[in-house]
């Protein structure tokens, strides 16, 4: 009887394992992996070694203990007390640049829509419901209502993706917008996910750090970040992660993507700054992964080293991917920015900001939730 039970248990484990492998291999949300020839090509890159992309400096991913239960449980302060009600972005009005030099609206978490010189640029447009390949309640978006519906977006000039994690690269969003996008600019390897999702080859531009793509008087530069990548259990660091500089004659924007603090910020400030706006990772931090996400003190220091006129804390306000209070990134970072004399802006989700309206005081809107 014991042998029979053991055999059934082994069969069940094997079947479950096969199911997981098949699910990860064929479910579209997991994307795709670099081919053998691509990996062979990556070997010429200084930031690629032994089959993996590398950070500029040694980066231990897990530096402390965190329990699975602590991470997935729903503490009252980890999420807002009620659904966030975002401002609605009027896309027709947003498209009209008028006499503004730029317009920018935060979509929550790390997503942005920007109008530069009448050209529409999206940064990490994650507009899905879950920051995961399957619905996990604790990883659900804070708001049912979106600041803008993906299907309503038309004539998008450029989509910039920082890396392939689920809270930045969302299958459902890409599927909705792909036919209305002229160009996707992504780090090396991320293009494979887009191809799997039927984005046309001619729309995909893949870059390594310190490479540029220029169109319509907008220069987009792929720059280092201190992070990692992967959408499945077997493809960790198979694609590149990056930060970005977006420059035009009217505005210079830095977008950190996800990054721990590192020496790259000072180098970027020296070589690519000064910036008008720096959108900097400042949420979902934890001592257990302090090398790959910044605490508020790190983010404000990075803003200073980037030599930016305005700093905005990002990577919060959308999902709970750590165990700190959901609004702590904003509260703590603006305290530190005030102390260091760094100007910042903390708009509501979906609120449109322009060069004419950025320099003002901002309400602590998060206190309403």
pLDDT in tens, 46-67: 999 999 999 999 999 988 877 6
* Pairing of the two strands 352-354 and 111-116: unpaired
pLDDT at 11: 59
Distances in whole angstroms, Cα of residue 283 to Cα of each of 75, 96, 246, 287, 325: 17, 32, 22, 12, 10
Measured CA to CA, the distance from residue 123 to residue 112 in angstroms comes to 5
What is the model's pTM?
0.94
Residue 152 to residues 88, 89, 358, 362, Cα–Cα distance (Å): 12, 11, 26, 28
**What 8-state DSSP symbol labels residue 22?**
H
Higher pLDDT, 106 or 26: 106
The tally of CA atoms less than 13 A away on the side-chain side of residue 74 is 10
Percent of the chain with pLDDT over 90: 85
Query: Residue 122: its pLDDT value, please?
Result: 98
What is the pLDDT at residue 13? 63
Q: Is the pLDDT of residue 293 over 90?
A: yes
Task: Work out the pLDDT band at 98, boundaries 50, 70, 90.
Answer: confident
Angle between helices 328-340 and 296-306 (to 10 degrees): 40
Q: Which residue has the tokens 């991470």?
A: 71
**Cα–Cα distance measured from residue 241 to residue 229, given in angstroms and rounded to the nearest whole number:** 6
Identify the bridge partners of residue 218 per DSSP, sorted by sequence position.
215
Residue 218 dihedral angles phi and psi, to the nearest 5°: -120, 120
3-class SS of residue 184: strand
CA 11, CA 32: separation in Å to the nearest integer? 29
The pLDDT of residue 143 is 96
Cα angle, residue 93 at apex, residues 89 and 97 outer, rounded to 5°: 115
Confidence of residue 233 (pLDDT cuts 50, 70, 90): confident
| Nearest-angstrom CA–CA distance, 151 and 178 | 10
- pLDDT, mean of residues 274-292: 97
Q: What is the rounded average pLDDT of the residues 267-293? A: 97
Residue pair 206/191 in contact by the 8 Å Cβ criterion: yes
Q: Report cis status (omega within 30 of 0) of the bond before 274.
A: yes
Does position 2 have pLDDT exceeding 90, yes or no?
Answer: no
Angstrom distance (rounded) from CA 239 to CA 187: 7
> Is it the case that residue 26 has pLDDT exceeding 90?
no
pLDDT at residue number 232? 86
The pLDDT of residue 27 is 82
User: Which pLDDT belongs to residue 17?
Assistant: 54
Average pLDDT on 310-316 reads 98
Does residue 364 register a pLDDT over 70?
A: yes
**Residue 184: φ, ψ to 5°:** -105, 125
CB 258 within 8 A of CB 165: yes
Name the band, by pLDDT with cuts 50, 70 and 90, for residue 23: low
With the CA atoms of 218, 342, 260 and 273 taken in that order, what torsion angle do they form, in degrees rounded to the nearest 10?
Answer: 30
81-87-88 Cα angle (round to 5): 130
The residue written with tokens 């005030």 in the block is: 338
Q: Give pLDDT tens digits for 108-148.
A: 999 999 999 999 999 999 999 999 999 999 899 999 999 99
Taking the C-alpha atoms of residue 53 and residue 87, their distance in angstroms, rounded to an integer, is 38
| DSSP H or E stretch at residue 276 | strand 275-281
pLDDT of residue 76: 67
Confidence check: pLDDT of 70 > 80: no
Q: If you search the block for the tokens 């299958």, which residue do you land on? A: 171
What's the CATH superfamily of 68-368? Ribonuclease Z/Hydroxyacylglutathione hydrolase-like (3.60.15.10)
pLDDT given for residue 99 in this prediction: 84
Distance separating alpha carbons of residues 195 and 144, to the nearest angstrom: 29
DSSP reduced 3-state for 68: helix
Of 121, 194, 191, 196, which is closest to residue 160 (Cα–Cα)? 121
Whole-Å CA distances, 262 to 73, 213, 243, 302, 363: 31, 25, 12, 8, 31
d(CA 289, CA 295): 10
């Amino acid at each position: 009887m014991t042998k029979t039970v053991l055999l059934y248990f082994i069969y069940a484990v094997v079947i479950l394992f096969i199911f997981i492998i098949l699910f990860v291999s064929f479910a579209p949300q997991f994307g795709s992996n670099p081919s053998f020839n691509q990996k062979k090509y990556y070997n010429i890159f200084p930031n690629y070694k032994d089959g993996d992309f590398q950070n500029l400096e040694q980066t231990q991913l897990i530096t402390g203990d965190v329990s699975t239960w602590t991470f997935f449980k729903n503490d009252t302060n980890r999420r807002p007390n009620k659904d966030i009600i975002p401002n609605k972005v009027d896309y027709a009005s947003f498209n009209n640049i008028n006499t503004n030099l730029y317009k920018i609206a935060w979509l929550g978490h790390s997503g942005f829509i920007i109008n530069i010189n009448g050209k529409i640029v999206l940064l990490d447009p994650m507009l899905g419901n879950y920051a995961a390949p399957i619905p996990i309640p604790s990883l659900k978006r804070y708001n049912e209502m979106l600041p803008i519906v993906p299907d309503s977006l038309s004539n998008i000039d450029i989509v910039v993706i920082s890396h392939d994690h689920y809270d930045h690269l969302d299958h459902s969003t890409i599927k909705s917008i792909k036919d209305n996008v002229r160009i996707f600019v992504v780090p090396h390897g991320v293009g494979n996910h887009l191809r799997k999702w039927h984005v046309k080859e001619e729309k995909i531009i893949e870059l390594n750090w310190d490479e540029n793509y220029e169109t319509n008087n907008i220069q987009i530069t792929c720059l280092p970040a201190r992070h990692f990548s992967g959408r499945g259990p077997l493809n960790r660091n198979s694609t590149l992660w990056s930060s970005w500089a977006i420059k035009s004659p009217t505005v210079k924007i830095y977008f950190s993507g996800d990054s721990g603090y590192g020496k790259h910020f000072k180098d970027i400030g020296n070589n690519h700054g000064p910036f008008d706006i720096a959108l900097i990772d400042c949420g979902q931090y934890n001592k257990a992964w302090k090398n790959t996400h910044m605490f508020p003190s790190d983010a404000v220091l990075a803003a200073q080293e980037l030599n930016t006129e305005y700093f905005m804390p990002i990577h919060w306000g959308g999902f709970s991917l750590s165990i700190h209070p959901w609004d702590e990134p904003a509260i703590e970072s603006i305290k530190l920015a005030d102390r260091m004399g760094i100007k910042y802006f903390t708009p509501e989700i979906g609120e449109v900001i322009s060069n004419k309206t950025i320099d003002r005081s901002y309400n602590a809107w998060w206190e309403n939730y």
